Amino acid sequence: MAKTSILNKKSLDFLKKYLNNASPTGYEWDGQKIWMDYLKPYVDEFITDTYGTAVGVINPKAKYKVVIEGHADEISWYVNYISDNGLIYVIRNGGSDHMIAPSKIVNIHTKKGIVKGVFGWPAIHTRDKAKEETPKIENITIDVGAKDKAEVEKMGVHVGCVITYPDEFHILNKDKFVCRALDNRMGGFMIAEVARLLHENKKKLPFGLYITNSVQEEIGLRGAEMITQTIKPNVAIVTDVTHDTTTPMIDRKKEGHLELGLGPVVAYAPAVQQKLRDLITDTAEKNKIPFQRSALSRATGTDTDAFAYSNGGVASALISLPLRYMHTTVEMVHRDDVENVIKLIYESLLNIKDGETFSYFK
């Protein structure tokens, strides 16, 4: 663990509450309310939009605008078809992993409240060992204990109900945070902590700071695409998760070498504005914040792309949190990395000057 932790009990209580609340893509508003309640003492005002993105603003009258951003949504499933014998077939809402579904408990969100179900799977005794089928969208089904379709519908379940996993936050070996939806509830948590530290340390920024928790990243960066047009920022520092590549079945020659506990990951990609990235890496070196580097071909696959290529071009950078087991219910991050991402964003903000263009031609 870090020598002097910047996370306090209130921080960790917020993180637990924020993670344990389901926030599937398109249904993020309850989680956004939890996030806004925590952030309220540290900002001057909030902006929200039609689809649920929430932004805490410091210095709202300032002309020069800097965004720090994470995304609020988590992957989930939709009810797609209910069979005559009461089994539920699903489609993805985001990049949900069919391979981990069998034997998982699920929460089906209905107007009547949560309906519990399970992703069933045929017993090992009944499967053909010579040609075992793997789980796929076509053969995974949810059983809610109903005898037929009518009974399922009587429970309030219908096509379009969203489905999440109930797995909750816990800590392994004192310093590993484990939960579903660390991608990217950790981002929302970390930018909120940056706002808290600015407030507690009485730091006055020379620009407007827009602490942005975007919706609908998991289905194509849609929330960021919308809110960047509203804010019209000059700079955007985005934080999301990236893969720890040290676990089995990951090819480091393809994915690069990234590891829990070795610090934030600074992205190299066309969407990343190089002078802004240099400011971030210089800040890390000056403040002795450990960091790793990652090269990303073409797009970053994060909200960085949405901000960078908006409004005629916004200087954007990506600081990622290494994570194991992405899009499972046991996503894992290292507490030290969480604290160092917070520190790196915080210290980088203190180095951005009002009116800075980051021009390559100066």
Question: Is residue 257 a known part of a binding site?
Answer: no
Question: Is residue 73 a known part of a binding site?
Answer: no
Residue 332 CA to residue 22 CA, distance in Å, equals: 18
C-beta of residue 321 within 8 angstroms of C-beta of residue 337: yes
Active-site entry in 28, 69, 74, 217: 217
Active site residue 259: no
CA-closest candidate to residue 165, choices 211, 232, 208, 101: 101
Question: Is residue 30 a known part of a binding site?
Answer: no
**Where does residue 136 rank: exposed (0-12), middle (13-18), buried (19+ CB within 10 A)?**
exposed
At how many degrees (to 10) do helices 9-20 and 182-200 cross? 150
Question: Is residue 240 a known part of a binding site?
Answer: yes
C-beta of residue 210 within 8 angstroms of C-beta of residue 67: yes
Question: Is residue 170 a known part of a binding site?
Answer: no
**Residue 132: Cβ within 10 Å count:** 9
What's the gap between Cα 324 and its chain centre? Answer: 14
The DSSP string of 16-31 is HHHHHS--BTT--HHH
At how many degrees (to 10) do helices 29-39 and 182-200 cross? 20
- Whether the bond into 234 is cis, omega within 30 of 0: no
Bind-site residues for Zn(2+): 71, 183, 218, 240, 327
Catalytic residues, by residue number, are 217
